[in-house]
Amino acid sequence: MPVFTSAVTLEKLNALSANTMVAHLGIEYTRIGDDFLEARMPVDHRTQQPLGLLHGGASVTLAETLGSIAATCCVNTTVQYCVGLEINANHIKSVREGFVTGTARPIHIGKRTQLWEIRIVNEKQELVCISRITLAVLDKR
């Protein structure tokens, strides 16, 4: 059963990222399914820490981006919006180059809160990071 209520397209989502940290880090939305949103991010000078590994903060940025946008796609944006309340991440495996791909799936979509799990994998589909984000669903004034 589809969870997204609005007419979501990759083109619209990628256009929203222009001139933001999302674009600066090279994050690109790549797939939308009935119950998931996927994006990829390069592991390069923008996302590496000084030792040449993917920075944990970059992984969390990818996770928060996916969870927040996915949650927003589940509400009527003319009357509501979503904001992050809490995010956690466990970093499982290091990455030095290439791309990582994050996939956000809902755990709970309620009237006032949403909870999403984001799994980030490397190009070999090995788990790099697992994250959960809790979002508040707020009414526009």
The residues that are catalytic are: 64
Strand partners, 115: 108, 134
Angstrom distance (rounded) from CA 68 to CA 74: 10
The answer to whether the beta carbons of residues 138 and 82 sit under 8 Å apart is yes
Euclidean distance between CA atoms 131 and 15, whole angstroms = 25
